[in-house]
Structure formats: C-alpha cells, structure tokens
Structure 1
Amino acid sequence: MIKTVVTPAEVQQLVREWRRQGIKVALVPTMGNLHAGHLALVKHAQTLGERVIVSIFVNPTQFNRPDDLVNYPRTLDKDMEKLISVGCDAVFTPEASAMYPSGGLATRVTVPGISDILEGEKRPGHFTGVATIVCKLFNLVQPDVALFGQKDFQQLMVIRQMVADLNMPIEIIELPTVRETDGLAMSSRNNYLNAEQRAIAPRLQQTLQATLQRLYAGDYTSYQDLQQWTMDELDSKGFKAEYIEIRRASDLLAPNPEDKDLVLLASAWLGKARLIDNIPFKLP
C-alpha cells in the first residue's frame, strides 16, 4: 500500500524509519502529471532501492513565466493511481508554504556557468529554482539514489554538478528519454498541443535525426550552418525554433575540433507549447 506524506516532518520521519531498518532509499522527483517516462523512472528505481519515494510538487521558483505556472497540469488523483499500479512505496506531496516557509527563495542554490546558457538563458532563474528545490528534496529524503530523465539534459547536468560540488552522498541515475510511438518526447507540456499541433510535434525529433544524418555524412560547412539549417527546417514545418545547438556532452560548451562526445539540443515553440529535445551522439 502506498504511503502519502505531506509535510517535511512526515517525510523525514518516514525515511528515518526506513533507515533504522537498513533500507536503501531511491527518490524520483517530479512535478506530477505523470506519464510513462516518469513510471519508467519509478520502475528502474525499484531495481536500485528497497523503497521508492516519488515527490510531486509543482515548484513555483523554477517557472520564469507566471502563465506557465498557472496552466501547468495538476492531476494528483490520476498520478496516485499510476503510482499505485507500479507499486511505488511512498509519495511526498508538499504545499508550497511548507517548502518555502519564508515565501520564496530567501535561501537559494545556484550552479553558475552551466545554469547560465541555453535553457538558463531562455528561462532566467529557472535553474536556481531547480537546484534549490532538488537540494531541499535531497536534504529531506536523503536518498541513496535519485533518478532523472535524459530529456531534460541540461537540468540533469546542473543537478550532477550541484551534487558533486556539495559532496552529497547521492548517486544520480539518468534514463533515456521515453517517447510516444511517433517519436515525440513525453512531456507534461504536450498537453498544451491541440490536435493539429500534436500531429506536427513529432517532426521536431525527425528534424534532429535528419540533422544528425547530415552531420555524419559530412554534408555541412560548419556547426553553425548546420544549426541554422535545422532552425529553418523547423520553422518551415510550423515550429518557431528558439535554439538548435551542438555542444560538448560533458559541459555543454562549444565543441573543439577534437571533441567526440557531443549532444544536439533543441528548443522550439509549437503554439502554446515550448518543446525541448536532444540527441546525445558520438563522432567516429
């Protein structure tokens, strides 16, 4: 039976009880509106920890647009049904007043550098909100392992950097992006798409794959030209491309000629939905 805890004191007490029994704890942080990608994280967490706790908290400090926070889908009842169906042990569903008792980011965690580019540039303050809430969750739950999806590639890197810099004894596990059958990366923000837009949305991943094919074939003069071609392709298909970048997978900086481990990152608007996706790849 799933255990529901709401306050920080309750989640700390639950974890203390597990610890006294020598139980290994896995955490899956989410903002709810759970889909198959989240459930894949929970299922994998069950292979790594003896107890799995999922947090569901729509974190206000990581939203740079008030309308995005207001419209973010909240589906707690359905989320609980899904977590019960996969045998999750506990769910932590705090109120904002409990996570931010002083009303906001009085104390904040920042990860400079990696937080200031790409998504950080387009969404000012976003990664400070992410790092702060994940740090809070880590302090409350003190998990042995925490799991995140690769779709939010830069977020994952921010969290890894925070854990390393603060010497947190937590193993960060990433899982590949879970996709719909047509290739669209699963995301809560896909709910913003109407039927026509939903039919177009898979072309984001298709265009990124075409970009990668051109890159492997040597059909480009520079990364910058290839990135611009990709943006033009997306715009012609109904998107409003925000950025397309080829970066080093290790730190998301611009690659040097000798770099082989890279990632292709994309952000594009489709109607009211801001879609992100990525493809990590290795050059021969």
Structure 2
Amino acid sequence: MVVFTEKDKLTPFIQNLKKEGKTIGFLPTMGALHDGHLSLAKASIAQNDYTVVSIFVNPTQFNNPEDLEKYPRTEENDIKLLTEIGVDFVYLPPVSDLYNKGEVAKVYDFDGIDKVMEGEFRPGHFDGVATVVAKLFRAVNPTKAYFGEKDFQQIRIIQEMVKQEQIDVEVVPMPIFRADNGLALSSRNMRLTSENLEAAPFIYQVLKEAVALKNKGKTPTEVIDFVKETFAQSAFELEYFTITDEEKLQPIDTFNTDVKTRGFIVAYAGDIRLIDNIQF
C-alpha cells in the first residue's frame, strides 16, 4: 500500500491509472476506523480496480473546537487495518494540503436539506462537509465513492454537491453496519463508557419498535410520540426523532407507499452524541 500526503503527487498518479482505463473506488474518512469503514472499503475493492481511502479530520465541519480536539486519531492502526484488507492507496494530508491559510468552508444552497435535523443542531456543518468532500473528490478523481447510510443526510448533501459542482463521480450509499447487538458502528463509540456501550443498543431497539408500529397502522405523529415517551423513561437524552421523506428530508404527515421515508434519531449516552436512522 502506498501512502500519499500531497494531492500534487496523488492526483497525477490516479489520472495515469484512469488513462489506462482503470476504475478508482474512494472512501473518505476521518480515521478512527472500525468495521463499518472496512465494510465500505471492501465493497470498493470488490467493485473497482483500485481503492483509495483518505484519512483527514476536517476542521471546517466542527461547530465546537473542543469536539475537533477530542476527535479520536488512530492513524497508525488505521493504516494497518487498511493494509490488511488490501486497500491500494491512502491519502493522509495535512490541513495545508487541502485548505489555504485562513480558508473557510464554501457556503452552499442545498434547498433546505442542510437546514433540518443535523443542520439545525449543527449550523454550518454541512457546508464544511461539502467543501472538504469536493476537495477530496478533485484530488482523487474517483469513479465511485462510498458512504454509509448512518449519515444518510450527509449522503443527500454530497449527492446535491456533486450535481452543483458537476463532479463526475458515482456516489454509492451503503447500508448501516451494525454490531451484533444492533448498535450502529461509529468512531464516537470509542468514547462510550462500558456501561453506556452496553446500554446503547436500546436506540436501535426503539427504532425497530417504531417501524413495527407503523406497520400496525399508526400515524407518523403516533410513532414519534411513542419514541419520545420511551426515551423519556430511559437513561438516554433524546435530542430529536423525526420521520421524513428520503428526497427532501421534510417531515411527513402520513405514511405513503409511493414515498420512501426514514426515521432519524439523535440521543446522548452520557456526553456522547449518537445518531442512527431506519427506513420505514
């Protein structure tokens, strides 16, 4: 495996491979890799001639400087894991390779999908995500890029960014990778106490119960009320639960078989913010 730290060396190298007709799969990450990341990398390896994984903790998507500082960094272990599964290239840039001094995130107009849910609670977050992913796409110039549906709203943002920036890449959503107990894998899970780690599967259990209620004919409002009441009696602090369509991410009043819908949840286990979602 080859590790690149400069896009000026990575980009022409990848361009030469593409001139030879090779396909390039890409997985952008912020490191602290887990089995969910590795499942995406394995999909890329299976579907492309070469696979690139980037490891970059992006400063422009953090609202809280303390969160940026606390974000786990495990580069040595990350590279070891990627080598073991057969990833071809890693892009491990310093901030200066992607951002000019003093540069801030580009401000996008995403027609409201960036203002709801995570966008409401983390203003400017998605501008930072879209800015860095656009930079990474231009550095790597991949054929396909892989993203986990745990961050479903982020996938919709990236799909819209690709249209606006006219970047020639196929965005490939992948199902949420869960532990055997149902907990959606996340780098943040590293920070859970053993007690909270044991209790955290409760979130997915409630999501499955919510889908069961929908299948019994309950309305979105009734399902949302059930989730709120269930969390009120738990050790978790519910930040939000909403049910939206998958396209515009707007709340729905009724379930309609012609419209794909998804329930989105954020809850705190201690001081760790956990996100998850489920299709209805």
Shift of 1:17: 2.7
CA contact (8 A) 1:109 1:135 kept: no
Secondary structure of the corresponding residue to residue 14 of structure 1? helix
Match of 1:230 in 2: 227
> What corresponds to 1:150 in structure 2?
149
| Aligned pairs for 1:121-270 within 5 A | 121-218=120-217, 220=218, 222-255=219-252, 257=254, 259-260=256-257, 261-270=260-269
Distance in structure 2 (CA, Å) of the matches to 1:107 and 1:173: 24
Residue 232 of structure 1 aligns to which amino acid in structure 2? E
Q: Secondary structure at the match of 2:153?
A: helix
Size of the alignment, in residue pairs?
A: 278
Mean CA deviation greater in 185-194 or 9-18:
9-18
For the residue of structure 1 that corresponds to 2:178, the secondary structure is coil
After TM superposition, give the deviation of residue 13 of structure 1 in Å: 2.5
Q: How far, CA to CA, are the matches of 2:245 and 2:173 in structure 1?
A: 17
The residue number in structure 2 matching 1:18 is: 17
User: How far did residue 106 of structure 1 move?
Assistant: 6.0
Q: Please, which moves more after superposition, 183-192 or 100-109? A: 100-109
1:215 is paired with a residue whose SS is helix
Q: For residue 147 of structure 1, give the secondary structure of its aligned residue in structure 2.
A: strand
1:257, distance to aligned residue in structure 2 (A): 3.6
| Bigger shift: residues 228-237 or 43-52 | 228-237
Shift of 1:46: 1.3
Bigger Cα displacement from structure 2, 267-276 vs 20-29? 20-29
Report the Cα distance in structure 1 between the residues aligned to 2:103 and 2:230, rounded to whole angstroms.
41
**Cα contact 1:111–1:131 (8 A) shared by 2:** no
C-alpha distance in 2, partners of 1:3/1:129? Answer: 27
Q: CA deviation at 1:193?
A: 0.8
Alpha carbons of structure 1 residues 141 and 230: separation in structure 2 relative to 1, 3 Å: same
Which consecutive residues of structure 1, in runs of 5 or more, have no partner in the other structure? none
Structure 2: runs of 5+ lacking an equivalent: none
Task: Give the distance between the partners of 2:117 and 2:86, measured in 1 at CA.
Answer: 37
Give the distance between the partners of 1:238 and 1:192, measured in 2 at CA: 17
Partner SS, residue 44 of structure 1: helix
Are the aligned partners of 1:192 and 1:273 in contact in 2 as well (CA < 8 Å)?
Answer: yes
**Over aligned residues, Cα RMSD in angstroms?**
1.5
Is the Cα–Cα contact under 8 Å of residues 228 and 244 in structure 1 kept in the other structure? no
| Other structure's SS at 2:27 match | strand
The answer on whether the counterparts of 1:110 and 1:128 sit within 8 Å (CA) in structure 2 is no
Residue 111 of structure 1 contacts residue 128 of structure 1 at CA under 8 Å; is this kept in 2?
no
Rounded to whole Å, the distance in 2 between the matches of 1:110 and 1:75 is 34
Task: Tell me how far apart the structure 2 counterparts of residues 31 and 139 of structure 1 sit (CA, whole Å).
Answer: 17
Partner of 1:43: 42
* Cα distance, 1:103 vs structure 2: 2.4
CA distance in 1, matches of 2:38, 2:30: 13
What percent of counterpart residues are identical?
37
- Report the TM-score when normalising by structure 1: 0.94
Once the two structures are TM-superposed, the CA of residue 258 in structure 1 deviates from its matched residue by 6.4
Aligned to 1:277: 276
Q: How much does 1:277 deviate?
A: 0.4
> Is the contact between residue 210 and residue 223 of structure 2 (CA under 8 Å) also seen in structure 1?
yes
SS in 1 for 2:150: coil
Q: Could you tell me whether the CA contact under 8 Å between 2:220 and 2:255 is conserved in 1?
A: no
8 Å contact kept, 1:4–1:90? yes
Contact 1:4 1:92 in 2 (8 A): yes
Q: 1:236 Cα shift?
A: 1.7
AA matched with 2:167 = M
